Structure 1
Amino acid sequence: MQMHNSIITMLKKKIFFLTFTFICFSMKAQNVVTETIQIDTNFVTYDVIYTDTLTKGVFSKVIAVFANDTSQIAIEKNYTSNYQNGLYKAYYPSGGLMVKTVYANNKLNGEWTFYDKTGEVAIKGIYKEGIKHKYWAYRYLKCYGRYKNGKKSGRWKCLNTDGGKYITKYPNLYLTGMFDFVRIRRNNPSTNDSIVSQPINDSLISDTNNQIQEIDTFYLSAITYLARNYYIRNRIKIQFTNTKKERKYYDKYFDYKKDLFLFAVSPTIIPLGLPPFLTEPEKLTSDTINTQLTANIEQYKDGFSSHPVRTDLALYQYSTQPNSDMILYFSEVVDNMLRVDIVEFRNRNNESFEDIYKHPNTRKYSVLIYFNQIKDVKAVEYQQKKVE
């Protein structure tokens, strides 16, 4: 009888312990919140528990710890009258500071800094009402420039891993003719004045505000890179010609005063494949692109070859000379890589861009462009074989 009572007592203790543990676990689980932390254009999520709220009048500060390590602070936020205002900090699980920024009325507003795990500043910039604005430094990418109302603007200086420094100039600088044209037509609807500084096809200005339509940043970066790239100018002359006399003819494709490559941009996006890069006589010159292709060759072969033909009329608006015999053709972007074919087709008439590309008289020169995480040009591979 005594043994029976002991067994019952032991079972009761175990049941009580298990019940208590379950209740504590449930209470803890109910307090776990998944927080999303913005890191530039990417996001990370933390499972956190909000522990402390420090309040003084309309001001309050809340602190969250990691759910799997409550000894480490994960996030610190400040509020004024229930609006997120003031300093915001997010930490690595190791305890190091990851993000430090400022909020105003629930929006990022002010200096924003991202630190790597060693404590070094990796990215630093400014937000204005939740939108990137003014100077940004992507130190880990060695890329520096300005944003205007969320869009890259002006001169961006970057380090190309395969060719030293280069400068990318964004549309507000080199598409001035487009904006001049819009302004003149808006103020003088009947004018027939042409814009000598930058010819742009006005028939494709189709939105209600007569503003140039946006295109994917990958394509914009490729266009701006090729438009003002001194190296591509020389490559075209060398690859398309055999004599100095022939090279003189190709001067017509460049505006040397503006340092501008004069090309049309095809609105037709075509599956271009990977040749000739798979059959080059020598090793690819870009180690970055060679590594990417080697590691993911089937993915790139399939990605560049199997996508359907599609049309994006907005691309044509970014032509630096719409009637040029030099035409840029783009593939789809495959894992941050893009193929561009620079196609020469003389004496264009009314052929479609797809027909031009397939025409037996076209001459084609191919370029592979690999982009970094912010969609700027990181590495470029130029076709080695001469154009036939």
Structure 2
Amino acid sequence: VKELFRQTQSYQSIVSSLGSKNIKPWIRGLHGSSIAFLLGSLFQDLANQSFMAIFPSQSDAEKLAQDLSNDVDVSVFPECHNFLYQGISPPKKHTADRLACFENLMNGKPTFISTSIKALLQKVPPNPTINSYFRKVKIGQEIDLADITAYLVDGGYGKVELVEAKGDFARRGNILDIYPLNYDQPIRIDLFGDEVDDIRLFDSNTQRSTKNINQVTLTPVREIIFTDEIVTQWRKRSETLITSKSSPKYTFEIEQITYRLEEGRDLEGLESIIPMLHSHMSTLLDYVPPDTVPILVEPSWVNREAKQLIEQAEQIYQKKWDSNQFMVSPDETFIPLGSLISKLEELQTIH
């Protein structure tokens, strides 16, 4: 069926239009699984290009990934603003999925990303910062065990006696056990002196090795690593925040965040202040190759959801401001919709 579909004039016309930067295809009449059928075929036929499907909701983005699971490896870039409004950290699965998208894009690998407009509007740290989050460890490499341990602690891993859950790590002499977010099993790194002698996956229940591997890519547990530089940047911003509002309650909240950062404990939900810790922020679109094909699915619904997101954020922010509660402003958290549309127009967007 797919081969017959590829031979149709309509499909050939779409493929041909994607070869011309002056043509931005508009496709109508597709619903449900037919969207996945078309996009999966295009991604396979244009194998050297990345695709980004942008949906009105995260559930739609997840459904596309499920529909294509047998044919295409789709990376879902989930939204996380609702968790930050509530002062809680996004689930580890969300963080792992988001970091996986960044890693694939920075490695130059043709990637199919499925996301929502709300996730795309949220600003993300710039490329050099995200790139520094990933640590590759391979057999034969010399590493500083103290440095890796500090990286894990700063990245949100918890030191335990026995590694059982994602985000755990344990050190016993020259053996380092880590359960990264991006692996289905924990990793055991065995050193001979400073040199990595062996890397193995192991079962968290039996603690027995299951597979030898040559290298591992470590990621933080959060979408931020709270280094000394980050804490210093927050101190500078906090001074400005405190002078912006004459309120003991507001000042206390700011000082509590400073205390939590300095102590390195109780960092739950502090991902919300990420926009205040960098001189400039980026969007996911800043990471994609210039020949990436974005697909706006149901553009009118996407536009409506984007406007609702900003309106909701502004209402929550104003309510907190009036109640002398701290919240990062929507202007710092989200890119304006008009700016996002301009970025999309620079690419060959399918509507």
- When normalised by structure 2's length, the TM-score is 0.24
The structure with more strand, counted as a fraction of residues: 1
The structure whose Rg is larger is: 1
Higher relative contact order (CA closer than 8 Å, sequence separation 6+): 2
